[in-house]
Amino acid sequence: MSATIDELTVNYEEEGVLVRKEITKEVLSKGAWSTIMFKYQDFDQKIEDYGEAKAMVVRFRKIKGEYRKQSSFNISSPKQALAMAKILNEWFEV
């Protein structure tokens, strides 16, 4: 568990192999309920390298001084990310 937002990550290791590698993260909201968007890559054993970048939006809740994952949404491809961005730009045009 993590006590601070800076410690939160989507890095994930199995048997000494980093199978999910965090590239970067952006904190969208802070507080008892925090939302963070992560850019990451999964390790592809077939090609023995990391695949294309993906994104994940994760909600964390701070309970007894520790952040716990409450929910998440994976954006599975750059194509899906760009389609979502286009729609959001149309909906919230400034």
pLDDT tens-digit series, residues 48-67: 999 999 999 999 999 999 99
Please compute the mean of the pLDDT values over residues 4-19 and round it to a whole number.
94
- Give me the number of domains the chain comprises: 1
Record the tokens describing residue 54, joined without a space.
């993906």
pLDDT of amino acid 57: 97
Q: Is the pLDDT of residue 3 over 90?
A: no
DSSP string, 14-35: ETTEEEEEEEEEEEEE-SSEEE
pLDDT of amino acid 93: 83
Q: Is the pLDDT of residue 94 over 80?
A: no
pLDDT of amino acid 62: 95
Closest CA to 19 of 37, 55, 44: 44
> Which 3 state secondary structure label does DSSP give 38?
strand
pLDDT tens-digit series, residues 23-49: 999 999 999 999 999 999 999 989 999
Which structural domain range is residue 33 located in? Answer: 5-91
